[in-house]
Chains A and B, each alone.
Chain A
Amino acid sequence: MVEEKVNQLVHAVTGVILQHADELTALDQAIGDGDHGVNLKRGAEAVLAELPKLDGKPIGEVLRAAGMQIVMKVGGASGPLIGTWAMELGKHLPPAPAYVDVAKALEAAFLAVKARGKSEEGQKTMLDVLGPAVRAMQANADPAAIKAIVQAAAEATIPIRATRGRASFLGDRSIGHMDPGARSSSLIIAAVCDHQSKVEPAN
C-alpha cells in the first residue's frame, strides 16, 4: 500500500512537469537559455522509465534513484540542483515518513541545493520557493496552505533582479519575469501537496 502511494506520487510529480514543459521553456526563453522545460521533460521521462525497477522499494530509495536519473539526464544546471534535492530528500526520509520527518528532510534538501548552487534566497532561483516551503512545514502548514505559499513564492520572483544563474547576465532586464526554476519547484511541491490532500483528506 505504501509502495503504491510512492508510485502514484512519482506519477503525479512527473505528470505535472510533462504537462507544463512548454510553459517552463517559455519562461526560460524570456530570461535564460530556453531549455528548462525540454530538460525537465527529459528528466521526468528518465524517472518514469526507471520506476518499474523500483517497484516495492521504500520512498527514500525511490527518491534517491529518481534524483540520480535527473542528475544524469537533465543536462542543464537544474539537473544537479533538482537531482540533489530529490536525492537528499530520499536520504533523509524514513520508509513511512510522518509530517515532522518530511519537514526535516525538506530542510536538509534545501541546504544541499543551496550548497550545490552556491546561492542564497533572494537571487531569483528555485531557492526562493524551497525556502518558504521549508518554513511553511516548520510552521505546521497543511498541504493546501503549503501549495498556496509555494505558488505565491514563485510569483514573488517576478520583481526580483536575478543575481545568480544565466538570468543574472540580463541585469535589470531580468525584472518582470517569473524565474523558471522557481516555477518548476512550485509545480513539483504543489503536485505533492495535491497528492497528499487526496490520499489523506484534512479532518
Chain B
Amino acid sequence: MITNVGIVIVSHSPKIAEGAADMVRQMVGDSVPLAFTGGDPGGGLGTSVEAIMEAIEQAWSPSGVAVLVDLGGAESNSEMAISLLPDEKRALVAICNAPVVEGAVIAATEASGGSSLKTVRRTAEELSPQ
C-alpha cells in the first residue's frame, strides 16, 4: 500500500486536469496516489463538489492529500468538498496555493520521497510569490 501523500488536481477544464495528471505520472509513476477532475456537473467548464470529493477519496492516503486548483471556483468548490468530508479526514486534506500544473508536478515529486503533507504543500507553495 502506498503511504505517500496523495495528489488531487482540480481544473475548470477536464483536459487541463488530465494533462497535468499525465505530467505528474511521467515524473513519479505510480509512487503517489493521484486523481484529477475538471468540468462542472453539466459538462461545461467549471468544477463539481461531488467530483472533487470522489477524487479526494480516490487519491486517499493515510498521510493526507494535497489539492491543486486553478481559478476561484475550483478553490471554493474544493474548500466546500473538504468541509463535507468526515471529521477524521478533513484535517488531512490541504489546498496548495500554487499554479495547478507546476504545483501538481512539484508536489507529487516531493510526495514521492515520502515527505509529510505540510512539506508537500510548502514545496508547492514556494512557486507562488508570497
The residues of A with any CB-CB pair to B shorter than 8 Å are 33, 35, 38-39, 42, 71-81, 83-84, 116-117, 165-166
Distance in angstroms between the alpha carbons of A165 and B74 in the assembled complex = 12
Distance in angstroms between the alpha carbons of A180 and B5 in the assembled complex = 39
Q: Which residues of A contact B44 (CB under 8 A)?
A: 35, 38, 75
Distance in angstroms between the alpha carbons of A79 and B47 in the assembled complex = 10
> What's the minimum C-beta distance from B56 to chain A, rounded to whole angstroms?
15
Q: Which of B48, B73, B80, B84 has the most CB of A within 10 A?
A: B73
The range of chain B's interface size is: 10 to 19
Contact B71 A117 (CB under 8 A): no
Interface of A is mostly: helix
Contact B42 A80 (CB under 8 A): no
Q: Which residues of A contact B72 (CB under 8 A)?
A: 77, 165-166
Distance in angstroms between the alpha carbons of A73 and B47 in the assembled complex = 10
Q: Pick the contact of B71 from A38, A78, A81, A166 — CB < 8 Å? A: A166
Q: Pick the contact of B76 from A35, A42, A73, A80 — CB < 8 Å? A: A80
- Chain B 17-52, CB-CB to A under 8 Å as 1, else 0, gives 000000000000000000000001110111111100
Query: Provided the pairs A39-B40, A42-B42, A166-B71 are in contact, do residues A75 and B80 lie with their beta carbons within 8 angstroms?
Result: no
The residues of B with any CB-CB pair to A shorter than 8 Å are 40-42, 44-50, 71-73, 75-77, 79-80, 84
> What's the minimum C-beta distance from B11 to chain A, rounded to whole angstroms?
13
> What's the minimum C-beta distance from B13 to chain A, rounded to whole angstroms?
12
Q: Which residues of B contact A72 (CB under 8 A)?
A: 41, 48-50
The 10 closest A-B pairs by CB, nearest first: A75-B40, A75-B46, A77-B73, A80-B80, A77-B76, A80-B76, A76-B73, A77-B72, A73-B41, A75-B41
Contact A38 B76 (CB under 8 A): no
Q: Which residues of B contact A73 (CB under 8 A)?
A: 41
Contact B40 A116 (CB under 8 A): no
Contact B79 A80 (CB under 8 A): yes
Contact A75 B71 (CB under 8 A): no
Distance in angstroms between the alpha carbons of A75 and B14 in the assembled complex = 13
Contact B45 A33 (CB under 8 A): yes
Q: Which residues of A contact B73 (CB under 8 A)?
A: 75-79
> What's the minimum C-beta distance from B95 to chain A, rounded to whole angstroms?
12
Contact A116 B42 (CB under 8 A): no
Q: Which of A73, A74, A83, A116 has the most CB of B within 10 A?
A: A74
Q: Which residues of B contact A117 (CB under 8 A)?
A: 76
Contact A77 B41 (CB under 8 A): no
> What's the minimum C-beta distance from A106 to chain B, rounded to whole angstroms?
21
Contact B45 A77 (CB under 8 A): no
> What's the minimum C-beta distance from B73 to chain A, rounded to whole angstroms?
4
Contact A79 B80 (CB under 8 A): yes
Distance in angstroms between the alpha carbons of A76 and B41 in the assembled complex = 10
Contact A42 B79 (CB under 8 A): no
Q: Which residue of B lies closest to A46 (CB)?
A: B41
> What's the minimum C-beta distance from A49 to chain B, rounded to whole angstroms?
13
Q: Which residues of A contact B40 (CB under 8 A)?
A: 35, 39, 42, 74-76
